[in-house]
A = this chain, B = another copy of it.
Amino acid sequence: MILASYPKQRDGELRIVAPDRQTSTRMQRRSFAEMIEYGVAPPEGEPEPFDITRCTAPMPRAWQFLDGSAYVNHVELVRRARGAEMPRSFWTDPLMYQGCSDPFLGPTDPISGDPAWGVDFEAEVAVVISDVDMGATVDTARAAIRFIMLLNDVSLRALVPAELGKGFGFVQSKPPSAFAPLALSPDELPCWDGDRLHATMCVNLNGLPFGQTNAGQDMTFGFPELIAHAAKTRPLRAGTVIGSGTVSNKREGGPGDRIVDGGAGYSCIAEQRMVETIQTGSATTPFLTTGDRVEIWMEHEGKSLFGTIDQTVQDWRA
C-alpha cells in the first residue's frame, strides 16, 4: 500500500496511491493518524490523477516521534572530530531522543531558521508502527512495522552543544522535520528486509551530489531494536514514528569519503565537516544559508521510492 496526504487542516486528506503512482483515491479514514488507529477502510470515490507536487507529509503530525541514532559510525565521527572517545556502550545501547511531531513539514516546505544557528539536514529513514506493548521483544516490534517513510531531520548545529551539555535532549536544536510525499508498506519495498531498508539515500546540495549512502549498511541497530528500546518502559501507540538517525557509511573501515573522491558522501553537512576536521584539522564546508537548496530521495534499482524532499532555506524573520 502506498499512502500520501494532500494538505487539509492539521491532519491532511489521506489518499491511497495506485501502484503505478498515476492515480490516487480519497480514503474513508480521513487522515493517516485515524487510519493507523482504526485500521484500513475502503477508498471513497473514484481514482483521480495523482499530483505528487500537491502532497504534504504523509502524516502531517503524529502523537509521538522517537528518533534513534542507529548509524553508530556517525556518532563515533562526531566524537573523534572533537578528540573524545565514544563510550563502548553506544554499540549496544541506542541513542534516542523524542522530537517534534506537531507539525511535520511537507516535502517542499521551506527550512525556516537563522543561518547563525548552523542549519543542517539529516537524511533518515523512519517507520510508522501499530500498537506495541511496554516491554515488547524485538520480534514483536518487527511485526508492528506498518509503513516506511523518508525524512529530513533538520538540525541546528550551533544550538546542539549547549543542549547536549544539559542532557535533556534537543528542544531548540531540532525544529520540525520534513517528510517525502509517500509512505510505503513493507510489501511495496523488495529492498526492505524487516529490519533495514537496503536502498540508496541520495542527497543533492544546491544541485550537486552530496550523498549516495546505502541505508542498509552500517546501521548498527535495526528498526525492531530501536522500537524495543523505546518500548522498555512505555507502551508505544499506533502511529508512533521511529527514526533511524542520519544514514552514514564507513569506507574501508574508516570514515566515508566525498562523492568527488570516490566515496558515498554524507547524509548531513556535519559529517563532511567532521571528516574534514579529522583529515585536515579544520572544517571547510559551511552549514546552510538562506537560499541553499537540499534535495533528498531514495533509490532502488534506479527507481525513486518515496518521492523527493526539496527544501530551500529561508530566514525565519523574512
Residues of A near any B CB (own CB < 8 A)? 10, 37, 61-64, 66, 69, 87, 93, 95-103, 112-113, 117, 134-135, 156, 159, 162-173, 175-176, 229-230, 232-235, 237, 240, 316-317
A63-B63, A316-B134 known; A95-B166 Cβ under 8 A: yes
Note all chain B residues with C-beta closer than 8 A to A102. Answer: 63-64, 237, 240
A112-B134, A159-B233 known; A171-B98 Cβ under 8 A: yes
Note all chain B residues with C-beta closer than 8 A to A235. Answer: 103, 176
Chain B: minimal CB distance from A188 (Å): 27
Note all chain B residues with C-beta closer than 8 A to A165. Answer: 87, 167
Q: List 15 A-B contacts (CB under 8 A).
A: A10-B237, A64-B100, A64-B101, A64-B102, A66-B171, A87-B165, A97-B168, A97-B171, A98-B171, A102-B237, A113-B233, A134-B175, A168-B169, A171-B230, A176-B235
A170 to B100, CA, bound (A): 14
Chain B: minimal CB distance from A89 (Å): 8
Chain B: minimal CB distance from A149 (Å): 18
Whether A169 contacts B172 by the Cβ 8 Å rule is: no
Note all chain B residues with C-beta closer than 8 A to A63. Answer: 61-63, 101-102
Whether A98 contacts B96 by the Cβ 8 Å rule is: no
Note all chain B residues with C-beta closer than 8 A to A171. Answer: 66, 96-98, 229-230
A101 to B98, CA, bound (A): 10
Whether B96 contacts A234 by the Cβ 8 Å rule is: no
With both beta carbons as reference points, the residue of chain B lying nearest to A10 in the complex is identified as B37
Instruction: Please indicate which of the listed interface residues A164, A233, A240, A317 has the most CB atoms of chain B within 10 Å of its own CB.
Output: A233
A229 to B64, CA, bound (A): 21
Note all chain B residues with C-beta closer than 8 A to A234. Answer: 100, 175-176
A316 to B37, CA, bound (A): 24
Note all chain B residues with C-beta closer than 8 A to A62. Answer: 63
Closest 9 CB pairs of A and B: A169-B169, A63-B102, A164-B167, A97-B168, A98-B98, A175-B233, A175-B234, A172-B232, A97-B169
Chain B: minimal CB distance from A39 (Å): 13
A113 to B232, CA, bound (A): 10
With both beta carbons as reference points, the residue of chain B lying nearest to A232 in the complex is identified as B172
19 new A-B contacts, CB < 8 A, other than A95-B166, A97-B169, A117-B233, are: A63-B63, A64-B102, A96-B168, A97-B98, A98-B98, A98-B99, A98-B100, A113-B233, A156-B233, A165-B167, A166-B167, A167-B167, A168-B169, A169-B170, A171-B230, A172-B232, A172-B233, A173-B233, A175-B234
